[in-house]
Structure 1
């Protein structure tokens, strides 16, 4: 067994994410049989000494049948209405199911704002940590009843990756209706399942489609992004089918394992790299890419080739290469309006008051490996 799978099997604190398609069906809504089977596997792992946070989709899907809706609504207001009905049904189902094992459930509803803002980030962290300390099972979901297009996570896979780092999890388990990551459409018999991902090279160029169930918002695209986010932050990840939950939470010998980076990011650097909402972009040349990504140097004005967005000093911006790939994120030290006249100029060419880093190395998080 690989080191990563051993780490998942031995993890003391785990985040498990389950998707809508694994819990609900378009016609009948919430499938309590599937939910009970998931809870059985989770309760067994808790009984063996692990702490576990469950990030569960399914609120909107659970509200369709009670509201006589035949499919997931497209408009935000009806989605919120379905979520308000379905969230209650989902929480009740989890409380009853975990109650079979005398386990108490605590519901935690989050919006993107709760993670993007540093003060809210710490509040969420304290709440989840306290629930675990009290022996409860936190069940986390995006607060679909109030989230708008501007502040929603978009899918619970990303939310699960953020929560995993938030609570200092030892592993992240992503469960769906697919039994792993494939190099194409898994319904095509010619595709191959990838059993382990060690880095970007293993998944670059892979074509993954969106969910076809009509109930979820993610699909393999969001799961791959979430797995890479958590692994890059130092958290081992296992991607598996929901009906394999028992195996995933015992031997971890199923699905696709994502090898974690050697060093776990601090809370602040993780927030910078993956949680904070960027307000602009700085395009940088190849020399600057090598400096900030490989050598972990500060970004200077000389390496910038373009500026996009309306941001102020202190905001988080993305650094992109010539191909518009995001290579890093960081806190910018200039307003957007100040930079056009500085870009491409060496420090000695600038006035003394402007001879400072555009993004300091201490406030910069590389997101992509640079070639040697």
Structure 2
């Protein structure tokens, strides 16, 4: 099955829409644009699919009501704008989906809700239950309380995480750009990339970091990163213009299609690989790298050369090669302070309580292969 056919036939779809696709240049919500998006989502629902909508726009929607001429730079004003804008955005979605007798459930998340395993599972249960009850979950970053330290940075990454969180069959990223280009299409001479089968197809792509409107925070760089993340976890992705939403959520014959490049991971292993914060790094010798990545073995103390970070048993750590390349992530069984006395020693002469694996194979996710 082609990637586009997989997107078109997906039973559970995550759809992400950016601020610039929902608001006017002055910062207020654009009812016509929002209704057009809802029309496309409702049509996909009527065709038999479940849809989770990851929507930006809260801060942008709060600008005009607060008399702000542009997106604020300081965090406090961003939070204030979001608190006003979230109400406006939620009300607009309730009214628009109400035209189709569809219920809406708002889910506000911070990065902390994804990083913490217990919060991750709670978010998963909430979204799953909303879908089972026939509602359309509308997910957004909780900008009213998120600090710089716990922000996703953009809703593209949030959408990719949500896609795996709920076991989605496809991710559709909608923005003000109609496809992926190898340069800025506004400057001319940029080549449109219709299909991405692997990393070689995006080599040399120069993706901008800021959206064209200035209202959003993503830009093409974040969309490309989100598409890669989802594809690496086995989720097909379609990147298209919000104005092409009917086609993107219909035959999927627009935009750029990203084929899955990795295997589906369990929810727990995906969290470990992509969502959890790593609090330290263990550098491995070549033998340990081969054992962990290629033979999927547990990590033992003799294979560790250096320890960095301040972590405790049960924390997530990165595993790196001697050259610094991160090749895996795992949950450590030791505190950082315990490891220097253990590394380089064969496990047998150590006390019985110190012979256990530093990272057990069941708690370890390779991110690359050495062969």
TM-score scaled by length of structure 2: 0.93
Which residue in 2 is equivalent to 1:263?
263
Deviation at 1:275, TM superposition (A): 1.6
Q: How does 1:16-95 map to 2 (within 5 A)?
A: 16-95=15-94
Instruction: Name the residue aligned to 1:338.
Output: 338
1:22-78 Cα distance to aligned partner (Å, 9 max, x none): 212441422222111111111111111111010000000000111111111111110
Counterpart-to-counterpart distance in 1, 2:309 and 2:126: 35
Aligned to 1:126: 125
Unmatched runs of 5 consecutive residues or more in structure 1 = none
Alpha carbons of structure 1 residues 202 and 366: separation in structure 2 relative to 1, 3 Å = farther
4+ runs deviating over 6 angstroms:
none
Once the two structures are overlaid, the 10-residue window that deviates more, 341-350 or 149-158, is: 341-350
The 5-angstrom pairing of residues 231-270 of structure 1 reads 231-261=231-261, 263-270=263-270
Query: Secondary structure at the residue paired with 2:20?
Result: helix
User: For 1:362, what is the secondary structure of its paired residue?
Assistant: helix
Equivalent position of 2:290 in the other structure: 290
Structure 2: unaligned runs, 5 residues or longer: none
* Distance in 2, Cα, partners of 1:333 & 1:109: 33
Matched, 1:164 2:182: no
Take 2:139 and 2:121, find their aligned partners in 1: how far apart are those partners?
16
Q: Partners in 2 of 1:254 and 1:344 — Cα distance?
A: 55
- Per the alignment, do residues 178 and 115 of structure 1 end up closer, same or farther by CA in structure 2, a change over 3 Å counting? same
Give me the whole-angstrom Cα distance separating, in 1, the residues matched to 2:343 and 2:193: 43
Q: Is the 8 A contact 2:27 2:62 kept in 1?
A: no
Aligned residues: 370
Q: Distance in 2 between matches of 1:314 and 1:28?
A: 44
Q: Alpha carbon RMSD of aligned pairs, Å?
A: 2.0
Residue equivalent to 1:151: 150
Distance of 1:94 and 1:223 partners within structure 2: 23
Q: TM-score, normalised by structure 1?
A: 0.92
| Per-residue Cα deviation, 1:184-232 (whole angstroms, up to 9, x for no partner) | 3333433323222233343355332202432212222222222222222
Q: Which residue of 2 aligns with 1:229?
A: 229
Over residues 78-125 of structure 1, what are the superposed CA-to-partner deviations in whole Å (9 max), with x where a residue is unaligned? 000000011111111111111222211111111222222222222222
Deviation (angstroms), 1:351: 5.2
In the TM superposition, residue 266 of structure 1 has moved relative to its aligned partner by 0.8
Q: Quote the offset at 1:333 in angstroms.
A: 1.6
Q: Per-residue CA shift, 1:210-257, capped at 9, x if unaligned?
A: 024322122222222222222222211111111111111111112222
Q: 1:243 to 1:345 in 2, by over 3 A?
A: farther
Q: How far, CA to CA, are the matches of 1:240 and 1:325 in structure 2? A: 33
Distance, in Å, in 2 between the alignment partners of 1:185 and 1:290 is 40
Q: Is the 8 A contact 1:320 1:326 kept in 2?
A: yes
